[in-house]
């Protein structure tokens, strides 16, 4: 038993440092496809890592930091990561019993997550994430998930080894269901904070914001700016992603602004998939 524990520790230490981890879910605005560009923009060295708009955690799983604070306002998402960390085997076992068909999908969608156990709730989240139309997690103003069935024939809910590696990595993290401003209580000098809020809209209809029932307003973007400044004063490395909009450019004009080309993937319309310019804003070179 003890030998197995040591072996497991050695194995997972190796895995978490050497082998990359893919995000476990699809997420609007996920940064997986930008990592090749982003990796040149991250600070070379830092202490703790903070990601207060976690989503699919593409940057967290790419960096695999030894210590991290992860925050998101989406309660289902946070419960999912807690269960991946604490009960990965039970989660995989349960979701594997779920059927990919329309009737079953709507049965699961109708369940009230607050009346489920933590593991059932995480399995529902993972199932809906993988079988909903376009992999979108969208809620209405009452917080009710409202995406239709995606009509997929076959769905892979998880990659077992990848999920187990994610589970081990999450053991190094404090995971919080909270507003992003909470990060200012945790981040210290020398830490790296990556901010990836819902983007400021370039037009009235563009940009998806309904990850949570509250959406994300102009006032919220001004709060992000305040947090960016506070963290800068504390001596943290701060990196922010946002849209290439005049409002964001003006707001962050005192910082280092880099343009990057991004492909939009969670968008059903072909014209929405063209490369577009987005901004990365940093308080360091």
Ligand X SMILES: C[S@@+](CC[C@H](N)C(=O)[O-])C[C@H]1O[C@@H](n2cnc3c(N)ncnc32)[C@H](O)[C@@H]1O
Distance in angstroms (rounded) separating the CA atoms of residues 209 and 192: 25
Q: Is residue 58 a contact point for ligand X (CB under 6 A)?
A: yes
* Helix or strand (DSSP H, E) at 106: helix 102-110
Distance in angstroms (rounded) separating the CA atoms of residues 94 and 114: 18
Of 226, 264, 230, nearest in space to 244 by CA: 264
Q: With 0-12 CB in 10 A as exposed, 13-18 as middle and 19+ as buried, what is 194? A: buried
Taking the complex as a whole, the smallest distance from the CB of residue 3 to ligand X amounts, in Å, to: 38
Q: Is residue 196 a contact point for ligand X (CB under 6 A)?
A: yes
Of 55, 70, 50, 67, nearest in space to 176 by CA: 70
Taking the complex as a whole, the smallest distance from the CB of residue 26 to ligand X amounts, in Å, to: 9
Q: Is residue 74 a contact point for ligand X (CB under 6 A)?
A: yes
In this chain, which of 16, 21, 24, 30 binds ligand X, going by CB under 6 A?
A: 30
Cβ partners under 8 Å of residue 258, min gap 6: 41, 279, 280, 281, 282
Q: Cα dihedral sign for 150, 152, 157, 159?
A: negative
Of residues 94 and 126, the one with the C-beta less far from ligand X? 126
Tokens of 120: 């059932």
Taking the complex as a whole, the smallest distance from the CB of residue 34 to ligand X amounts, in Å, to: 9
Region binding ligand X by CB under 6 A among candidate stretches 9-17, 25-33, 80-88, 142-150: 25-33
Chain centre to alpha carbon of residue 233? 26
Q: Is residue 211 a contact point for ligand X (CB under 6 A)?
A: yes
Q: Is residue 237 a contact point for ligand X (CB under 6 A)?
A: no
Of residues 98 and 135, the one with the C-beta less far from ligand X? 135
Of residues 30 and 88, the one with the C-beta less far from ligand X? 30
Taking the complex as a whole, the smallest distance from the CB of residue 104 to ligand X amounts, in Å, to: 26
Taking the complex as a whole, the smallest distance from the CB of residue 5 to ligand X amounts, in Å, to: 33
Cβ partners under 8 Å of residue 109, min gap 6: 128, 145
Of residues 94 and 195, the one with the C-beta less far from ligand X? 195
Region binding ligand X by CB under 6 A among candidate stretches 70-78, 121-129, 185-193, 253-261: 70-78
In this chain, which of 52, 65, 113, 135 binds ligand X, going by CB under 6 A?
A: 52
Q: Is residue 31 a contact point for ligand X (CB under 6 A)?
A: yes
Distance in angstroms (rounded) separating the CA atoms of residues 130 and 260: 28
Taking the complex as a whole, the smallest distance from the CB of residue 102 to ligand X amounts, in Å, to: 27
Of 75, 72, 51, nearest in space to 62 by CA: 51
In this chain, which of 46, 179, 190, 201 binds ligand X, going by CB under 6 A?
A: 179
DSSP state, 260? E
Query: Which residues contact ligand X by CB under 6 A?
Result: 27, 29-31, 52-53, 55-56, 58, 71-74, 179-180, 196-198, 211-212, 216
């Amino acid at each position: 038993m003890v030998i197995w524990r040591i072996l497991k520790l050695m194995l997972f230490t190796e895995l978490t440092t050497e082998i990359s981890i893919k995000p476990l879910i699809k997420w609007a605005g996920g940064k997986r496809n930008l990592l090749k560009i982003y990796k040149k923009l991250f600070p070379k060295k830092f202490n703790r890592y903070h990601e207060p708009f976690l989503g699919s955690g593409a940057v967290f799983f790419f960096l695999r930091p030894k210590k991290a604070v992860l925050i998101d306002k989406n309660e289902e998402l946070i419960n999912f990561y807690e269960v991946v960390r604490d009960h990965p085997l039970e989660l995989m076992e349960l979701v594997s019993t779920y059927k990919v068909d329309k009737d079953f999908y709507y049965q699961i969608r109708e369940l009230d997550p607050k009346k489920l156990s933590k593991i059932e709730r995480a399995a529902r989240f993972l199932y809906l994430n993988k079988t909903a139309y376009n992999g979108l997690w969208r809620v209405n103003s009452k917080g009710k998930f409202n995406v239709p069935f995606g009509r997929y024939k076959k769905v892979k809910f998880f990659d077992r080894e990848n999920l187990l590696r994610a589970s081990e990595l999450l053991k190094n993290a404090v995971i919080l269901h909270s507003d992003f401003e909470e990060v200012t209580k945790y981040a210290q000098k020398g830490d790296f904070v990556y901010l990836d809020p819902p983007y400021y809209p370039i037009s009235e209809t563009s940009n998806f914001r309904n990850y949570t029932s509250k959406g994300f307003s102009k006032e919220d973007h001004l709060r992000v700016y305040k947090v960016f400044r506070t963290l800068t004063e504390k001596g943290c490395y701060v990196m922010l992603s946002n849209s290439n909009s005049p409002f964001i450019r003006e707001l962050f004009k005192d910082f280092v602004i880099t343009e990057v080309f991004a492909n939009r993937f969670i968008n059903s319309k072909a014209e929405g998939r063209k490369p577009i310019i987005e901004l990365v804003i940093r308080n360091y070179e």
